[in-house]
Amino acid sequence: MKRYLAYSLMALGLVATSAAVYMLHYLFFHDAHHIWIYLVGDIAFVPIEVLLVAIVIERLLARQERRALMKKMNMVIGTFFSEVGTPLLGDLTNALADRDPVYGTVALATDWTPAHYRRALAVLAHLPAKIDPDRLDLPALRRFLVDRRDMLVRLLANPNLLEHEAFTDLLWAVFHLMEELSARSTFDDLPETDRRHLAGDAQRVYGRLLRQWLLYVRHLQRAYPYIFSIVVRTHPLQADPSPTVA
Residues 6+ apart with CB under 8 A from 181: 138, 141, 142, 145, 146, 198
Looking at residue 65, its pLDDT comes to: 67
* Cβ pair 135, 96 in contact under 8 A: yes
Which residue numbers in the chain have pLDDT < 70?
A: 1-4, 7, 11, 14, 22, 25-26, 30-31, 33-35, 38-41, 44-46, 49-54, 56-58, 60-62, 64-70, 162-163, 246
58, HSE (Cβ side, Cα atoms, 13 Å): 7
pLDDT tens, position by position, 187-202: 988 999 999 999 999 9
Looking at residue 23, its pLDDT comes to: 79
DSSP string, the chain: -HHHHHHHHHHHHHHHHHHHHHHHHHHHH--HHHHHHHHHHHHHHHHHHHIIIIIIIHHHHHHHHHHHHHHHHHHHHHHHIIIIIHHHHHHHHHTBS--HHHHHHT---TT--HHHHHHHHHHHTT---PBPGGG--HHHHHHHHHTTHHHHHHHHT-GGGTT-HHHHHHHHHHHHHHHHHHT-S--TT--HHHHHHHHHHHHHHHHHHHHHHHHHHHHHHHH-HHHHHHHHHH-SSSSS--SS--
Amino acid at site 202: A
237, HSE (Cβ side, Cα atoms, 13 Å): 24
How far is residue 170's CA from residue 177's CA, in Å, rounded to a whole number? 11
Looking at residue 20, its pLDDT comes to: 78
Looking at residue 74, its pLDDT comes to: 78
Give the predicted TM-score (pTM) of the model: 0.74
Bridge partner residues of 96 (DSSP): 131
